[in-house]
Amino acid sequence: MNLLVKEKEAKSKKKPVRLTLRVKWSVAVGLTIFLTFIIFAGIMYASFYNNLVNQEKQTTKQTRDLIVQRLSGFTNNLKSGDVMPLMMPEFYQNKDQNPLTSAFQDTIVSQLSRSDMAVQIYDRDEQQIFSSQQTKKVTFKSDNHAKLQIIRQNGKRLIVATRPIYAETNRQLIGYVFIVNYMDNVQRSTQMLRLQIFVLGVVAVLFSALIGYVIAYRLSKRVNVISDTIKEIDRSPESAARIPNFSGNDEINDLADQFNQMLDQVQRYIEQQKQFVGDVSHELRTPVAVIEGHLNLLNRWGKDDPEVLDESLKAASQEAERMNSLIEEMLQLTRAEQVESKNVQEITDVREVIMGVVDSIQMLHQDFSILSDIEMNADVSVRMTRNHLEQILIILLDNAVKYSTKRKEVHLSADTTPQEIHIVVQDFGMGISPESQQRIFDRFYRVDKARSRERGGNGLGLSIAYRLVKAYGGQLTVDSVEGSGSMFKVTLPTISESIPESTDHEED
């Protein structure tokens, strides 16, 4: 029963609606452009509407003032018979008309012929004596001052102009002029403008959405490639799949490059881990077998023989020490392979480190002569951890001491150029064959396995030094002649431009 309820609940839960990046980008771009268009269209519409209204106000005012100017020539109270001839269009069509009044007549005729403007004349008793058309629910109210105002009626804006008429001669009140401008032309123009804005707005939204979709498609296409690569690597962590190079130079390209670098680094770590496990299992097989053999020997009959017991315990102890040394060196090798020089901020004084390591090796091997020739100033430095530089020098000097034969002498020289430092370690031992020089830096490789085992070597020292030098952007090379000795040269980039200064340092 509970299972059925849980299944129903699981089915009832709807998956959240998934909006792709293309849709989100298209909607965002479309809304942004639409809102921008609406803002600018609103500003333009308001400006256009205000200009039209101001023009209508100016036209209404001019018409009112012209009528007042024309009718102010009368001296007594205005009468219909006096006003009618001056306000009717037929009067101005008379051929005997005075040409001096033509400008006035043209203005009056054009305004009286408008269907959206009502002109009314009242006498001083506020009795209507002329009307071009009846006003719609707008009543005349007398006032002793000229007025021009905008009122709202039935949702429409109207211009109402009123002005008293005074006789020019005696300045007596003889009537009033009352004009109502319904602004039908403004309404038609603004209605047409709104329709145009709406159409342009729809076109702008559709066009911007299309452009946004195209841009989002191109962006999401690259994102999908990255996603597919991640899925492939998720299915097979050891896959060599990488994000291809995209055209252009933007943040997605940077993301792809950084992701590829991360994948390369992870791949290196995986390979190092596999190689580490393989090397451990291979190299530990021999000491484990030796220890197991001695234990079996003791278990069978050797425990009763003190000489055999002592020999077996010593052999097992030596193999255990060798196992410990081998594991430590392998861990050092793994760490060396994981060094990222770009993350190192430590600055190391090369001259100081060289002199300190030479003194230490000389103290450990007092039967050897460690001769050093350091031609560099004290301010020559490298961007490198001090421990790693010491480790490289110790490996090279210890290797030179181990493989020296009759001539117990090791030379170390160091000099610098404006861009690099050079450190050379030379011994006069058994030398290395040309074939072995090609593999001398491979892990676990020994030139003479028997001698290496006698001297305690595991074949990892030079591999560690080589990988450390390489991690810091340098080079480690070898030049050797069999029977005459070997010369190892370390080259590292310097961060200081120093003039060489020759100093000799010798330790006997």
Nearest to 347 by CA among 373, 379, 375, 392: 379
* DSSP β-ladder status, 409-416 and 156-166: unpaired
Which conformational region is residue 261 in: left (phi greater than 0), alpha (psi within -120 to 50 degrees), or beta? alpha
**Whether residue 331 has pLDDT greater than 50:** yes
Q: What is the pLDDT of residues 453-471, one digit of tens each?
A: 455 556 678 888 888 898 8
CATH code of domain 22-191: 3.30.450
Higher pLDDT, 207 or 408: 408
Q: What is the pLDDT of residues 215-257, one digit of tens each?
A: 777 777 877 888 888 888 788 777 778 878 777 677 778 888 8
Decide: 161 and 65 in contact? Cβ < 8 Å.
Answer: no
Domain 345-507, CATH among 3.40.50.620, 3.30.70.260, 3.30.565.10, 3.40.50.2000: 3.30.565.10
* Predicted local confidence at residue 243, as pLDDT: 79
Higher pLDDT, 302 or 183: 183
Burial class (CB in 10 A: 0-12, 13-18, 19+), 1: exposed
Q: Which two tokens stand for residue 279?
A: 């090397």
Confidence of residue 498 (pLDDT cuts 50, 70, 90): very low
Confidence of residue 106 (pLDDT cuts 50, 70, 90): low
Domain ranges of the chain: 22-191, 242-282, 284-337, 345-507
How many C-alpha atoms does 20 have within 13 Å on its Cβ side?
Answer: 12
Mean model confidence pLDDT for the chain = 79
How many C-alpha atoms does 108 have within 13 Å on its Cβ side?
Answer: 25
Q: Which two tokens stand for residue 408?
A: 């117990």
- Give the highest mean pLDDT range of 74-88, 187-201, 292-306: 187-201
